[in-house]
Chains A and B, each alone.
Chain A
Amino acid sequence: MPLHEWPKRNDGQEHDLEHRSGYPFGFMDEGAKKEIRRAILKAVAIPGYQVPYGSREMPIARGWGTGGLQITLALIQPDDILKVIDQGCDGSVNAVNIKKFVAKVAGVTVTTDTAAATIIQTRHRIPEEHMTDQQILVLQVPYPEALREVEPSEVETRRMHAEADYSRMWLYLYEDIVHYGEITISYRYPVTVNGRYITDPSPIPRWDVPKLHMADTLFLFGAGREKRIYAIPPHTTVVPLEFEDHPFRTENFTGKSCARCGATESFLDEVIDNTEGVRSFFCSDSGYCDKRREQCSR
């Protein structure tokens, strides 16, 4: 759509929604949305750089996805189709609450189908299905600073980013290997974005990290409590920190499959039965699992 048509796109509908809910379209006022969109533009222009912004008060508590929610609300249009997941699951309380809220204040349709969605807000997972250049993935971020583990001071981490002084992060990994024989970071695995900034990919499992590399999709990261927005634009290099003799590796599910849909190529959650103690595995991405079962039953 040409840019000049963009503001006119919601005429009529917007007014109607405002009338219905008592809030502006998308809950936030236009000034707030403008600020967040500007922060997003800057974040896309400098891949991996954390852009500070004025995180707004949301009707859910900080730390429960307000950063992702604000990005979603700043971007969403009435014809968007929204999917919200929490650790891969469409049905968890937090995901359902956010989904209902956005549907109410923006009047959008919701879905659990990854392929059908235009905006997907997620906590701690990237969907299994391939995402296209027509989609945006919004990730909720608890701790945007990848260097926080090695340096508690914000002033100091900003200096480290500015000077690309990352030897202490590398030292942390070195010590890990010396003590344990491998890197023990299981989620929030630090990555180098576009050859420059070390970035926190949010607490996604290692499994999802390769999906960020040279993807077709725009990834936006919002940390509401920490008041930071950053981005990994499409077709950007994302390289996990690794050593020549200790390469990065993902979780290994060899010989295991989903007990519900039989998938062998998805990220699996381990579930232990409370009464009988039986160990079984299920797809963490519930939308993907449902889709596979549907296809099988047809």
Chain B
Amino acid sequence: MQPLIRIRGLTKRFGSGCDRCLAATGPEHDTNLCPHCGSVLACNDLSFDLFPGEALGVVGESGSGKSTLVRLLHFEWEASAGSMDVHRSAAGSHLLAEMFPENGDYSRNLLLLSHFQRRQMRNALMGIVYQNPHLGLRMGVSSGGNIAERLLGAGWRNIAKMRQRAAELLEKTEIPIQRMDEPPANFSGGMQQRVQIAKALSNNPMILFLDEVTTGLDLSVQARVLDLIRNLRSEFNLSMLVVSHDLGVINLLCQRTMVMKAGHIVEDGLTDQILQDPQHRYTQLLVASQL
């Protein structure tokens, strides 16, 4: 099976950068701050594949570069270096000509596309759920409107059809449809998170980014949200990148896991393997401190 997206050498540097940045940062130095020039290397030369229908976990401590990784892949921030290409099967037909001029299996480097093309790509391909619902939702706009916004961005121009689609998604995410025209500000944290998931799914994305989705929710609500995500994954055959510092969440959702530390991937493999038999010193610490 060929990967859905391939990430190679993805790097994000904040600051001017110098020749010695790469050598002076990373897990062996226990920092991502270059002592010579003061730049922060939030992500440093990350390479990995994401396969169709797979849930890939990313764990690591705060500041290890997990969220930066998601923001780079979701085109919110500009990468300093690296490439991201997507398999032909993932792109919508109207995007194919622009993205695949050479008839290869993979697109050109998406990180080099224009802002406009990246926005189109994102609308066609990706969904994201943030830790904080305020980032992913407009709190003053109705929940149905929040979902419609993505559909409008994808060119939908029929109110009745959009409302029908929003109702379907809200039903799937267990929000009462009577509350569709209420703003998410009226909802509890768990409900807001579920509206966010509905919004992320509205354009039938191939890839879903989950950035600490259950952090801050109480345990029973966490369980329901995780259950929902598992069901949706199998229903829509989503590829997911699950970022969390909670090994329990990773264990429940992901088949494969990467461990990040100081902007590097220090270990990756099957989730069971990583949890049962961690190889890297930091992973051992992480697994040990979980219990």
A residues whose Cβ falls under 8 Å from a Cβ of B: 159, 162-165, 167-168, 170-171, 174-175, 177-179, 242-246
17 A-B contact pairs sorted by A residue (CB < 8 Å): A163-B116, A164-B116, A167-B152, A167-B153, A170-B149, A170-B152, A170-B157, A171-B138, A171-B145, A171-B148, A175-B141, A178-B144, A178-B159, A178-B181, A179-B181, A243-B157, A245-B159
Shortest distance from the beta carbon of B224 to any chain A beta carbon, whole Å:
28
Interface contact B119-A163, CB-CB below 8 Å: yes
Shortest distance from the beta carbon of A92 to any chain B beta carbon, whole Å:
39
Interface residue B261 (Cβ < 8 Å from any Cβ of A):
no
Q: Contact mask B94-117 → A, CB, 8 Å, 1/0?
A: 000000000000000000000110
Interface contact A171-B159, CB-CB below 8 Å: no
Q: How far is the CA of A168 from the CA of B163 in the complex (A)?
A: 16
Interface contact B149-A171, CB-CB below 8 Å: yes
Interface contact A163-B152, CB-CB below 8 Å: no
Shortest distance from the beta carbon of B160 to any chain A beta carbon, whole Å:
5
Which of A163, A165, A174 interacts with B159 by CB under 8 Å?
A: A174
Interface contact B141-A243, CB-CB below 8 Å: no
With CB as the reference atom, state the residue of chain B lying closest to A175. B145
Which residues from A are CB-within-8-Å of B142?
175, 178
With most chain B CB atoms within 10 A of its CB, the pick from A162, A165, A171, A179 is A171
Which residues from A are CB-within-8-Å of B181?
178-179
Shortest distance from the beta carbon of B17 to any chain A beta carbon, whole Å:
26
Interface residue B86 (Cβ < 8 Å from any Cβ of A):
no
Which residues from B are CB-within-8-Å of A242?
157
Interface residue B150 (Cβ < 8 Å from any Cβ of A):
yes
**What is the size, in residues, of chain B's interface with A at 8 Å between Cβ atoms?**
20
Shortest distance from the beta carbon of A222 to any chain B beta carbon, whole Å:
29
Closest 4 CB pairs of A and B: A167-B153, A170-B152, A244-B158, A167-B152
Interface contact A174-B148, CB-CB below 8 Å: yes
Extra pairs beyond A178-B159, A244-B157, A246-B159 (7, CB < 8 Å): A163-B115, A167-B150, A171-B145, A175-B141, A175-B145, A179-B181, A244-B158
Which residues from B are CB-within-8-Å of A162?
115-116
Which residues from A are CB-within-8-Å of B157?
170, 242-244
Q: How far is the CA of A170 from the CA of B145 in the complex (A)?
A: 10
Interface residue B40 (Cβ < 8 Å from any Cβ of A):
no
Interface contact A245-B160, CB-CB below 8 Å: yes
Interface contact A174-B152, CB-CB below 8 Å: yes
Shortest distance from the beta carbon of B105 to any chain A beta carbon, whole Å:
28
With CB as the reference atom, state the residue of chain A lying closest to B158. A244
With CB as the reference atom, state the residue of chain B lying closest to A164. B116
Q: How far is the CA of A242 from the CA of B159 in the complex (A)?
A: 10
Which residues from A are CB-within-8-Å of B84?
none
Q: How far is the CA of A175 from the CA of B148 in the complex (A)?
A: 10
With CB as the reference atom, state the residue of chain A lying closest to B123. A167
Interface contact A243-B119, CB-CB below 8 Å: no
Interface contact B141-A171, CB-CB below 8 Å: yes
Q: How far is the CA of A1 from the CA of B152 in the complex (A)?
A: 47
With CB as the reference atom, state the residue of chain B lying closest to A246. B159
Chain B 145-172 interface residues, beta-carbon cutoff 8 Å to A: 145, 148-150, 152-153, 157-160, 162-163
Which residues from A are CB-within-8-Å of B119?
163, 165
Which residues from B are CB-within-8-Å of A174?
145, 148-149, 152, 159, 162
Which residues from A are CB-within-8-Å of B149?
167-168, 170-171, 174
Interface contact A243-B158, CB-CB below 8 Å: yes
Interface contact A178-B116, CB-CB below 8 Å: no
Shortest distance from the beta carbon of A255 to any chain B beta carbon, whole Å:
29
With CB as the reference atom, state the residue of chain A lying closest to B162. A174
With CB as the reference atom, state the residue of chain B lying closest to A242. B157
Which residues from B are CB-within-8-Å of A168?
149
Q: How far is the CA of A164 from the CA of B118 in the complex (A)?
A: 12
With CB as the reference atom, state the residue of chain A lying closest to B114. A163
Q: How far is the CA of A178 from the CA of B153 in the complex (A)?
A: 18
With CB as the reference atom, state the residue of chain A lying closest to B145. A175
Which residues from B are CB-within-8-Å of A243?
157-159
Q: How far is the CA of A265 from the CA of B229 in the complex (A)?
A: 58
Which residues from A are CB-within-8-Å of B115?
159, 162-163
Which residues from A are CB-within-8-Å of B144?
178
Which residues from B are CB-within-8-Å of A171?
138, 141, 145, 148-149, 152
Shortest distance from the beta carbon of A128 to any chain B beta carbon, whole Å:
31
Q: How far is the CA of A175 from the CA of B159 in the complex (A)?
A: 10
Which residues from B are CB-within-8-Å of A245?
158-160
Q: How far is the CA of A170 from the CA of B159 in the complex (A)?
A: 11
Q: How far is the CA of A50 from the CA of B163 in the complex (A)?
A: 34
With CB as the reference atom, state the residue of chain A lying closest to B149. A171
Q: How far is the CA of A178 from the CA of B160 in the complex (A)?
A: 10
Shortest distance from the beta carbon of A250 to any chain B beta carbon, whole Å:
20
Interface contact A177-B159, CB-CB below 8 Å: yes
Q: How far is the CA of A174 from the CA of B161 in the complex (A)?
A: 12
Q: How far is the CA of A67 from the CA of B153 in the complex (A)?
A: 33
With CB as the reference atom, state the residue of chain A lying closest to B151. A167
With most chain B CB atoms within 10 A of its CB, the pick from A163, A165, A178 is A178
Q: How far is the CA of A170 from the CA of B153 in the complex (A)?
A: 8
Shortest distance from the beta carbon of A99 to any chain B beta carbon, whole Å:
43
Which residues from A are CB-within-8-Å of B145?
171, 174-175, 178
